[in-house]
Amino acid sequence: AQSVTQPDIHITVSEGASLELRCNYSYGATPYLFWYVQSPGQGLQLLLKYFSGDTLVQGIKGFEAEFKRSQSSFNLRKPSVHWSDAAEYFCAVGPLEGTGTASKLTFGTGTRLQVTL
């Protein structure tokens, strides 16, 4: 069965500092990997997704993520955090498009990011 682990429940960084959020996954086949962000009172917003190709994928808002197959990891990074990045971040895995229920994503439990000024 697929699963996603986000080992950090809560992370605090200073504005302008770099950020790395960890994600490890378990999946029986080649998955799609996603990072979503959830601000209070808002729905989930897709930051980026990865299936194949270059293992470093760029997303919106200056975020990037690196896929490491050997470590089953898909960590999210940002070189310089802004106060507006404070939110909950979710890593997710899903099936290949066309194989099973495409919208059946499995999410991690999330990492809450706090940004200090």
Partner 1 sequence: ETGVTQSPTHLIKTRGQQVTLRCSSQSGHNTVSWYQQALGQGPQFIFQYYREEENGRGNFPPRFSGLQFPNYSSELNVNALELDDSALYLCASSLAARANVLTFGAGSRLTVL
Could you list the residues that contact partner 1 (CB under 8 A)?
A: 4, 32, 36, 41-46, 49, 90, 92, 94-95, 97-98, 100-110
| Residue with smaller CB distance to partner 1, 13 or 105 | 105
| Residue with smaller CB distance to partner 1, 81 or 94 | 94
| Residue with smaller CB distance to partner 1, 36 or 63 | 36
| CA dihedral of residues 31, 9, 60, 85 (deg, nearest 10) | 170
Shortest distance (Å) from residue 97 CB to partner 1: 5
> How far apart, in Å, are the Cα atoms of 31 and each of 49, 55, 64, 102, 103?
10, 13, 18, 11, 12
Residue 1's identity, in one-letter code, is A
Shortest distance (Å) from residue 32 CB to partner 1: 6
Shortest distance (Å) from residue 49 CB to partner 1: 7
20-39: b (≥16 Cβ within 10 Å) or e: ebbbbbebeeebbbbbbbee
